[in-house]
Amino acid sequence: MATTIYKSANIYLVDGTEVYITPLKIKYLRQFMDKFDQLKESQNNTEEANRLLMESAVIAMKQYYPSIKTVEDLEDNLDMPNLYVFLEASAGIKLKPSEEDKQESADDENSWGKLDLAKLEAEVFLLGIWKDYEELEASLSMAELTETLNAKREADYNEKKFLAAMQGVDLDKQSGKEDAWAKMKAKVFSGGQAANSNDILAYQGANAAKAGFGIGMGLSYEKL
């Protein structure tokens, strides 16, 4: 089953040049957020806000099209529709968000401000792939860092689980960790409603028939 770590997009410069956009590497995302956060202080000054937005976009362009070095270069090479696509694909910024997007954006901003990035990078750095933190930040976006960290933690857990099993200890049972396959089957049988395999919503259709009871077999439920 195909999966993706992040969303990407293609933008087109005024001269027709196509530029492939993926999330900003941490190196540039730091600089971008430092500039973009200044927008909060210029909410009542449209001209100032537009200038900061364009300067933020110029910082992001260092990763994709370094020849765009100034706001004037950006204005000469990128129209507004493509700028919207560019900011969303590179930094997850939506210029005209829905109410739901606004809440998510606010949550993201709060998360970035409170994020202990140094701690996360230190954990991933132990993989021994990068010579220093600068190289790590130039190599990974936040999405890539997150997935790498998840994979490392999963590998560490599986190693501990194997060693515990050799001692006759079921680490999953003791830790309350649920088997990923069982959790996925529960979601499939419940149409995505069940949180885990113990959720009653998982006992539907073939899963209910196998268990001998479930929704439609003497059980019903009501959403509250």
CA Rg value for the chain: 23
Q: What pLDDT sits at residue 12? A: 96
Find out whether 164 and 139 touch, Cβ atoms under 8 Å: no
- On whether both 110 and 125 belong to a single domain, the answer is no
Strand partners, 206: none
- On whether both 43 and 77 belong to a single domain, the answer is yes
Q: What pLDDT sits at residue 132? A: 96
Buried b / exposed e along 81-94 (16+ C-beta atoms within 10 A): ebbebbbbbbbbbe
d(CA 108, CA 93): 10
d(CA 119, CA 88): 26
- On whether both 25 and 81 belong to a single domain, the answer is yes
Strand partners, 10: 20
| Contact partners, residue 208, CB within 8 Å, separation at least 6 | 189, 214, 215, 216, 217
- On whether both 34 and 80 belong to a single domain, the answer is yes
Q: What pLDDT sits at residue 38? A: 87
- On whether both 18 and 64 belong to a single domain, the answer is yes
Say if 2 falls within a structural domain.
no
Say if 96 falls within a structural domain.
yes
At residue 89, what are phi and psi to the nearest 5 degrees?
-75, -35
Residue holding tokens 């990974």? 140
Q: Which domain holds residue 153?
A: 119-169
Say if 4 falls within a structural domain.
no
Regions of the chain short of the pLDDT cut 50: 1, 99-103, 105-107, 109-110
Q: What pLDDT sits at residue 169? A: 79
- On whether both 87 and 136 belong to a single domain, the answer is no
- On whether both 135 and 89 belong to a single domain, the answer is no
Domain count, the chain: 3
Q: Would you tell me how many other CB atoms lie within 10 Å of the CB of residue 22?
A: 17
Nearest to 205 by CA among 218, 222, 190, 223: 190
